Amino acid sequence: MPGSQEHDGANNPLFGKSLLSIRQLSRSDIERILGEAESMKLMLDDGKVEQPLRNRIMATLFFEPSTRTRLSFESSMQRLGGGVIGFADANTTSSVKGESLADTVEVVSNYADIIVIRHPKIGSADEAAMHSRVPVVNAGDGAGQHPTQALYDMFTVKAEKGRLEKLNVALVGDLKNARTIRSFAYALAMFGNNLTFIGPRQLQMPGEVLRELSERYGIGVETSESLDDALDADVVYIPRIQKERFADVEEYKRHASNFYTIDKKFMDRATRDPIIMSPLPRLGEISTEIDGMKNAVYFRQAGYGVPVRMAILKMMLAR
């Protein structure tokens, strides 16, 4: 199995490096990581997890709220035998005294073997990596990138649909601000999938991203404002509207009151038995009435975060 190979520079795209963007990975890199994640899942299922990261420490620097990302990273590190330090509330740190992000990272990199950071500013993870003595993982930089989310989203697609290629994928909602959609779209494009971006005109994916996806990867890219254009999708991915990215609360309220909803009526009309994915939390864009359907994979999706992040941490730190 791919996950059983020894880690070295020849076949390990992550060892000793920071993971800042899904775009730094190739298709073969993603396949390598997902293979390692499958090995991790099998070990978890068997209850026989190796602990190659004993005596290693991960620092979690979360300047923005998180449930799934922070806890799954911490669970992953502990399952691999490592320890965790860090914070989930920046108000308890020296940043409230005016300490810069660069200085915080310079200091923390003395205490840990790897840093996982979430920050509201686009480019913050890149800045952190410049000032860190240890590898940095981008756990979300504003509306920028979220590479580990994209990797376990790809793992979810493979687990639930049986393949990563030749799929019609509808990416729905706040396309402008959702870093999860942006990262996922690049990963999907590497595997030649057809992408349909569905969102309000004011929240559409930036044109330069659409052009790059089409020109660099040669895939079909369409845009729409109608949820009906997701009815022939194999995968529907719908995050919440990113309230924290809106400068105008009234504008957010206008969009939130008219947001798309995946419900039983939608599922009854869908033609390709789609899986419904979300990075969570949900705020009404997915009706609870479909929670019991086999197509509703978002809670299983959250669970896949552990083996995938275990694979990432092991590949980044273990020789």
Q: State pLDDT tens for residues 78-114.
A: 999 999 999 988 888 888 888 999 999 999 999 999 9
Indicate the residue type of 124: S
Q: Which of 56, 79, 118, 240 is catalytic?
A: 118
> Distance between CA 257 and CA 275 in Å, rounded?
25
Position 202 confidence tier, pLDDT thresholds 50, 70, 90:
confident
Checking if the pLDDT of 26 tops 50, the result is yes
Q: Which of 48, 92, 97, 201 is catalytic?
A: 97
Checking if the pLDDT of 236 tops 80, the result is yes
What is the pLDDT at residue 32? 97
> Greater confidence, 251 or 109?
109
Position 24 confidence tier, pLDDT thresholds 50, 70, 90:
very high
67 is a catalytic site residue: no
Instruction: Indicate the average pLDDT of the chain.
Output: 90
118 is a catalytic site residue: yes
Checking if the pLDDT of 7 tops 50, the result is no
Which of the 8 DSSP states describes residue 2?
G
Q: Which of 70, 119, 146, 240 is catalytic?
A: 146
Degrees (nearest 5) of the Cα angle 177, 178, 179? 105
Looking at the fold, whether 310 and 186 belong to one and the same domain comes out as no
Looking at the fold, whether 95 and 105 belong to one and the same domain comes out as yes
Position 305 confidence tier, pLDDT thresholds 50, 70, 90:
very high
* Partners of residue 170 on adjacent β-strands: 196, 236
Looking at the fold, whether 130 and 160 belong to one and the same domain comes out as no
> Distance between CA 182 and CA 61 in Å, rounded?
22
60 is a catalytic site residue: no
Looking at the fold, whether 313 and 295 belong to one and the same domain comes out as no
Phi, psi for 235 (deg, rounded to 5): -135, 130
What is the pLDDT at residue 6? 38
Position 252 confidence tier, pLDDT thresholds 50, 70, 90:
low
Q: Which of 60, 69, 148, 180 is catalytic?
A: 69
> Distance between CA 309 and CA 305 in Å, rounded?
6
Checking if the pLDDT of 52 tops 60, the result is yes
Looking at the fold, whether 154 and 271 belong to one and the same domain comes out as yes
Looking at the fold, whether 135 and 8 belong to one and the same domain comes out as yes
For the chain, first and last CA: distance in Å? 18
Among candidate residues 107, 109, 140, 108, the one with its CA nearest the CA of residue 126: 140
What is the pLDDT at residue 254? 61
Query: For the residues 25-50, what does the mean pLDDT come to?
Result: 96
Looking at the fold, whether 166 and 242 belong to one and the same domain comes out as yes
Checking if the pLDDT of 118 tops 90, the result is yes
Number of domains in the chain: 2
Per cent of the chain over pLDDT 70 is 92
Checking if the pLDDT of 246 tops 80, the result is no
What is the pLDDT at residue 3? 37
Position 258 confidence tier, pLDDT thresholds 50, 70, 90:
low
Query: For the residues 206-222, what does the mean pLDDT come to?
Result: 90
Looking at the fold, whether 117 and 35 belong to one and the same domain comes out as yes
Looking at the fold, whether 119 and 14 belong to one and the same domain comes out as yes
> Tell me, what CATH number does 7's domain have?
3.40.50.1370
What is the pLDDT at residue 8? 46
Phi, psi for 287 (deg, rounded to 5): -70, 140
269 is a catalytic site residue: no
Looking at the fold, whether 154 and 95 belong to one and the same domain comes out as no
- For residue 152 the two structure tokens come to 């376990």
Instruction: Show Cβ contacts of residue 239 under 8 Å, excluding neighbours closer than 6 positions.
Output: 173, 174, 178, 180, 181, 278, 279, 285
* Partners of residue 86 on adjacent β-strands: 60
Position 259 confidence tier, pLDDT thresholds 50, 70, 90:
confident
Domain containing 163 equals 147-302
Q: Which of 17, 23, 27, 68 is catalytic?
A: 68
Query: For the residues 62-88, what does the mean pLDDT come to?
Result: 95
Checking if the pLDDT of 1 tops 60, the result is no
Q: Is residue 295 a contact partner of residue 116, using CB atoms and an 8 Å limit?
A: no
Looking at the fold, whether 76 and 164 belong to one and the same domain comes out as no
Chain segment 282-298, per-residue pLDDT in tens: 888 999 999 999 999 99
Checking if the pLDDT of 303 tops 90, the result is yes
261 is a catalytic site residue: no
What is the pLDDT at residue 91? 81
Looking at the fold, whether 59 and 30 belong to one and the same domain comes out as yes
CB atoms within 10 A of CB 44: 15
pTM above 0.85, yes or no: yes
Residue 13 burial class via C-beta count within 10 angstroms: exposed 0-12, middle 13-18, buried 19 and up: middle
Phi, psi for 24 (deg, rounded to 5): -80, -10
What is the pLDDT at residue 253? 59
Residue 68 burial class via C-beta count within 10 angstroms: exposed 0-12, middle 13-18, buried 19 and up: middle
Chain segment 129-181, per-residue pLDDT in tens: 999 999 999 999 987 789 999 999 999 999 999 999 999 999 998 888 788 89
